[in-house]
Amino acid sequence: MTQIVRTIHEVRGFVSDCRRKGWKTGFVPTMGAFHAGHLSLIRQARRECDSVIVSIFVNPLQFSAGEDYDQYPRQLDRDLRMAESEKADILFCPEVAEMYPKGFDTYIDQSDGGLPSKLCGRFRPGHFRGVMTVVCKLFNMVRPDVAYFGQKDYQQYLIIRRMTIDLNLDVDVRVHPTVREEDGVAMSSRNIYLGPKQRKDAGCLHQALRRAEEMVSNGESSAARVTSEMKRVINRVKGARIDYIAVVNSETLEPLKEIKGKTLIALAVRIGKARLIDNALV
């Protein structure tokens, strides 16, 4: 049975017991509203670890004013059933007041020109500072051996991996492939903001990425030509607004002119109220 734990004190107690037994702890930090992508991370943790902790915390710090913090789906009963189906041990759901008590004033960030300033960081100022701060706190509470993140948020994975190295956090940060709907749309809790027509239109992100992969595998190495073809694919959808399409080094996220070595092709597109992101490593 998956147990709901609401306080930091209780989660620390569970973790201490596991450590005493010499168990390896896997951790899946989430904001809830589970879909198959979350479940695949929990399943992977279950496969590789002795105990599995999943957190659900809609982190106010990573939303700017005007973003969807208030509307973000909260579905604890459904999430609990889903976590149970994957045999998670603990669903850790702390309250905002316990995570950020009055007087809270310490934040984690990286340098101005660093990873958080790139790609999504250009459009969501302060977002990754909020993510790093909450993930660092959660790592300190859960003290996991392994933490699991989805490839859809590849920039987030890179930033958290950097943070664990820089702050000597003893956590093995792993990335797991994006789980997709049948038509290729990346699973996301924010897909519920899409109406039926918009949901169909959302396929354009995946189509643009497939087209890019096809070009690269046929020998295309010009980032400009790949980007402009992806733009053409997205712009066929009326109402799709591109935040960015980027061809970058998959470690530094620096833009590339020529595609060679491990490259990340990433994009963010707004459709209706939803801001959708996706990527491919080529």
Of 80, 108, 135, 141, the one binding ligand PAF by CB under 6 A: 135
The CA-based angle 97-98-102, given to 5 degrees, is 55
29 binds ligand PAF per the rule CB under 6 A = yes
Q: Are 255 and 246 in contact (CB under 8 A)?
A: yes
d(CA 141, CA 169): 12
What is the CB neighbour count within 10 angstroms for residue 165? 10
d(CA 239, CA 153): 24
30 binds ligand PAF per the rule CB under 6 A = yes
79 binds ligand PAF per the rule CB under 6 A = no
Instruction: Provide Rg for the chain, Cα atoms.
Output: 19
Q: Is 38 marked active-site? A: yes
d(CA 48, CA 261): 30
Residue 89 or 130 having the CB closest to ligand PAF: 130
Total residues in contact with ligand PAF, by rule CB under 6 A? 10
121 binds ligand PAF per the rule CB under 6 A = no
DSSP letters for 142-155: H--SEEEEEGGGHH
H/E segment holding residue 253? none
Q: Are 160 and 133 in contact (CB under 8 A)?
A: no
247 binds ligand PAF per the rule CB under 6 A = no
- State the catalytic residue, choosing from 9, 35, 38, 206: 38
CB of 131 to ligand PAF, least distance (A): 5
Of 15, 88, 108, 134, the one binding ligand PAF by CB under 6 A: 134
59 binds ligand PAF per the rule CB under 6 A = yes
CB of 45 to ligand PAF, least distance (A): 14
d(CA 219, CA 167): 40
144 binds ligand PAF per the rule CB under 6 A = no
CB of 129 to ligand PAF, least distance (A): 12
266 binds ligand PAF per the rule CB under 6 A = no
The CA-based angle 266-267-270, given to 5 degrees, is 160
- Select the span of 131-139, 171-179, 202-210, 272-280 touching ligand PAF (CB under 6 A): 131-139
Chain contacts with ligand PAF (rule: CB under 6 A): 29-31, 59, 62, 131, 134-135, 153, 156
Catalytic residue positions, numbered? 38
